[in-house]
Amino acid sequence: MNGKFILTCSGCGKTFAPSPELYLCPDCSRNNDTVNPPKGVLKAVYDYEILSKHKEEVITGNFWDLIPLLKKESLPKLRIGETPLYRFDRIDGETLTFELYLKDDSQNPTFSFKDRASAVVSAYARENGISTIVAASTGNAGSSLAGICASQEQKAIIIVPKSAPHAKLTQIVMYGATIVPVNGTYDMAFDLSMEATKEFGWYNRNTAFNPLTIEGKKTVSFELFKQLSRAIPDYIFVPVGDGVIISGVYKGYEDLLKVGLIDRMPTVVAVQAAGSSNLIENIGKPDFTIKPSNTLADSISVDIPRNFFMAQYYLLQYKGEWLSVTDDDIVNASKILARNTGIFAEPAASTAFAGMLCYQKNQKLLSKQRVVVLLTGSGLKDLKAVSSVINIPNAIDPTVDSLRKNEWIKF
Ligand SMILES: *Cc1c(COP(=O)(O)O)cnc(C)c1O
C-alpha cells in the first residue's frame, strides 16, 4: 500500500491508487447512464492488518489512521464534527424504556452533516494543489462546500435547483461561492455538474461520485463509538436520500470491525420520505425503477440515489432495516422533537426521528436498547417547511391588562 489508503471498486473489487482524477471504477462505470444509479463507486481501504496490531493507538490518535489525508493542517480551521450526543429520557411526558440518543449534527459550521464530507474533500484538494471545487446539491452539500471553501481560501461552484430553500441559497451566496441555480430538479443539476466536470476539468465533490464524501461521513461512527464508551447502538436511525450518509455510518463501523475494535455491527435503519423512497423500494429488485420524488424534505428529495448499490450492499450484508414516513409524519415528528428537546431540525433530519417514533409506536424498541437518531440539519435552514403548522399570534398591546384579557396566553 502506497500511502495511507487505496481505493477499491464496490462492484468488481479492483483496486486503484487514489488520485484526484479518479472518481468511479473505469470499468464498472463504462455503461453508466442518467436513468440508473451509477455503478463503480469506490471505497477507501486502509491497512487493517497493521492497524489491528495497534488498535488502542487508533483510538488515542482520534482515528487519524483511518482518515484519507496526509496532514491535519489540510483540514479547515472550523470545528467539523465532534457534535454533541444527548440522551433524553422522556417524550411528551412519557418515560422511555429504551435509551434515546440524539446526535445533533446541526452543530456543524454550516449547520448540516454535509460538513463532514466537505471538510475531507476540501483538505484532499488542498493536499493536491487544487483550488476550485464544484458540487451539485439539493442545498446542504452546496452551502456546506461553499462555507468550507471560504474557510480554506478555495473557490466553490455550486449547482442547485432554483427551488432549494432560500436559507440554503443565501448561505451559498454569503460564503462567496459561485452559485448556479438551474431550472430543474436536483437530478438535473447533478447531471449538469458531471458534464461540466468533464468539460472544464474541475474537481468534483458530488456525493458518492467522490469517494472521499463517504470517508468524511463515516467519522460520525467513530464519534458514536467514543461517546457511547465503545458500546454498539442497537439501532441507528438515518435519513436517506442518495444513500451516502447511511453508507458512511456503515463504513465507519466496518472500519472499526476490521481493526478489531468492535465485534458486531449496529442495526442501521434507513428512513426515507414516502414521496422519495426510490432507494428502499428498489432493494433486491433486478431492475431499478424510478418514481419521481415529491416531498417537503428537500435534502432527501432524490430521484436516482447516487449510492444505491453500496447502500443496498450494506443494508443486506449487515441486516439493516428500512421504512418510509409521510410528509405529515415528518412535520409532526419535527414538532415533537423541538418541543421535547429544544432541537429544531430540518425536515430531512426529522425524517429519522419520525422513523424512530414509528418503531416506538410498533413496540420494536425494547427496554434498555440503545437507540441513536442522526439529526442531520438545522430547522432554520427551511422555515417554509413548517409554516403550515405554526401559528404566530397577532400582536397584543404591551400592557399587563392585555396579558390578562387574552385567554390563549397561558401562565
Ligand atoms: C444530504 C442530507 C441527508 C441525506 O443524505 P444522503 O447521503 O443523500 O442519503 C439527510 N439529511 C440532511 C439534512 C441532508 O442534508
pLDDT category at 407 given cuts 50, 70, 90 is: confident
List, for residues 76-103, the tens digit of each pLDDT value.
999 999 999 999 999 999 999 999 999 9
CB atoms inside a 10 Å sphere around CB 243: 31
Q: Which of 237, 234, 204, 203 is nearest to 220 (CA)?
A: 237
Is ligand 1 within 6 A of the CB of residue 105?
A: no
Do 158 and 138 meet the contact criterion of CB atoms below 8 Å apart?
no
Distance (Å) from CA 351 to ligand 1 centroid: 10
pLDDT(120) > 60: yes
β-sheet bridge partners, residue 6: 45
Is ligand 1 within 6 A of the CB of residue 240?
A: yes
* Per-residue model confidence (pLDDT) at position 408: 84
Calculate mean pLDDT across residues 341-356.
98
* Per-residue model confidence (pLDDT) at position 268: 98
Strands (E), 1-58: 5-9, 15-16, 42-46
Calculate mean pLDDT across residues 133-149.
97
* Per-residue model confidence (pLDDT) at position 2: 55
Calculate mean pLDDT across residues 317-324.
98
Calculate mean pLDDT across residues 377-396.
94
Q: Which of 277, 218, 275, 284 is nearest to 246 (CA)?
A: 218
Q: What is the pLDDT of the chain when averaged over all its residues?
A: 96
Q: pLDDT above 70 covers what percent of the chain?
A: 100
- Kindly write down the DSSP assignment for every residue of 69-132, as one continuous string: -S-GGGS-SS--S---EEEEEEETTEEEEEEEEEEEGGGSTTSBTTHHHHHHHHHHHHHTT--E
Q: What are the angstrom distances between the C-alpha of 312 and each of 4, 126, 297, 351, 402?
A: 27, 32, 22, 19, 59
pLDDT category at 409 given cuts 50, 70, 90 is: confident
Nearest atom, ligand 1, residue 376 CA: 13
Distance (Å) from CA 305 to ligand 1 centroid: 11
Q: pLDDT above 90 covers what percent of the chain?
A: 96
Is ligand 1 within 6 A of the CB of residue 114?
A: yes
pLDDT(3) > 90: no
- Secondary structure of residue 381 in the 3-state scheme: helix
Is ligand 1 within 6 A of the CB of residue 376?
A: yes
List, for residues 187-219, the tens digit of each pLDDT value.
999 999 999 999 998 999 999 999 999 999 999
Is ligand 1 within 6 A of the CB of residue 277?
A: no
Calculate mean pLDDT across residues 244-255.
98
Is ligand 1 within 6 A of the CB of residue 243?
A: yes
Is ligand 1 within 6 A of the CB of residue 216?
A: no
Nearest atom, ligand 1, residue 139 CA: 15
* Per-residue model confidence (pLDDT) at position 262: 98
pLDDT category at 38 given cuts 50, 70, 90 is: very high
Calculate mean pLDDT across residues 349-354.
98
* Per-residue model confidence (pLDDT) at position 1: 59
Is ligand 1 within 6 A of the CB of residue 241?
A: yes
Q: What is the pTM of this model?
A: 0.97
Calculate mean pLDDT across residues 36-43.
97
The better pLDDT of the pair 296, 410 is held by: 296
Q: What are the angstrom distances between the C-alpha of 67 and each of 70, 158, 239, 252?
A: 8, 25, 24, 10
Calculate mean pLDDT across residues 226-249.
98
pLDDT(159) > 90: yes
Distance (Å) from CA 397 to ligand 1 centroid: 44
Best probe residue, ligand 1, of 296, 351, 376 (max atoms within 8 Å of C-beta): 376
